Structure 1
Amino acid sequence: MSAVVHTHRLQVRYGETDQMGVVYHANYLTWFEVGRTEFLRHSGLTYRELEEKGVLLPVAEATLRYKLPARYDDWVEIRTRIEELTPVRLTFAYEVYRIPDETLLVSGKTMHAFTTPTMKPIRLSRAEPDVYAWLLAQYEGGA
């Protein structure tokens, strides 16, 4: 389990909800993407920098577990961490909480393959050893 957990807060917008004011289920995947983007940025590496190095992180698998709905105008906190890191893939884990009451609404994971811009799989530990070492530090709790 990663010791580095990044938190990002957002307020539920009207356009993210259905007629009942409940967040549409697919929007949680968008929030997961916000969580991992901000995790990387906050830790000192952006998606743009990864892409400039020729490394892409396409989503290979996503899972979500819905517990309670978020609603229009709620404040939520997305908590993101690296759950697993291997030379060929990276798995992020997410939890979405309503704040300030700390109610867990949704949890989930996304698994990403390391690829080139042409979607050829790579071993990140060989292709970009510095990036792999940086991710490993995030996974193990250092920065």
Structure 2
Amino acid sequence: MSPPFVEISFHVRYAETDAMGVVHHAAYIIWFEEGRSAFMRACGLPYSEVERRGYWFTVAEVHARFHAPARYDERVLVRTRIAELRSRGLTFAYEVRRASDEALLVTGETRHICIDHTGAVRRIPQDLWEVLQSAFEEKQRERSS
């Protein structure tokens, strides 16, 4: 994954595995959420602050592609970056890798729409936009160098 991304790591929990001993597909969606929460905190914009201000980035789409399984107690890395930023929403991209050998396990994206407390679609407020734009532009600069 091209920088800048935010990386979190943890051990696969037993409760996240299925009868075949591998991580159940639904767990990856939760890991994506953990990744984007960490990304927002790293930008200095915790998601709790966005909500406190009366805005939510509701999930409109989720995509995941499974490359290899993760298993109980393996340490995994979740890397998150902004893939697209628009006036009323954004898309996060994710990579999940096994920490021991950096094997690619899952890639994915979530697309989010900015809404207010009534559920109406809104433009991302200017100050929030500037924080997100800065992270997105940093990614673009890294790709072009």
TM-score range (shorter-chain normalised) is over 0.9
1:129 matches 2:121: no
* Identity in percent: 47
Moved over 2 A (4+): 1-4
Aligned alpha-carbon RMSD (Å)? 1.4
Aligned residue in 2 for 1:107:
107
Paired residue type of 1:33: E
Aligned residue in 1 for 2:19:
19
**1:20 deviation in Å?**
2.2
CA change 1:113–1:2 in 2 (3 A) is farther
In 2, Cα distance between the equivalents of 1:3 and 1:18? 33
Deviations 1:112-134 (A, max 9, x none): 0011022100011xxx2111011
Paired residue type of 1:136: Q
CA change 1:9–1:78 in 2 (3 A) is same
Aligned residue in 2 for 1:116:
116
Pairing 1:1-143 to 2, within 5 Å after superposition: 3-124=3-124, 128-141=125-138
Aligned length: 139
Paired residue type of 2:135: Q
Q: Which ranges of structure 2 fall in alignment gaps of 5 or more residues?
A: 140-145
Paired residue type of 2:88: V
Deviations 1:92-138 (A, max 9, x none): 000000012000000000000011022100011xxx21110110001
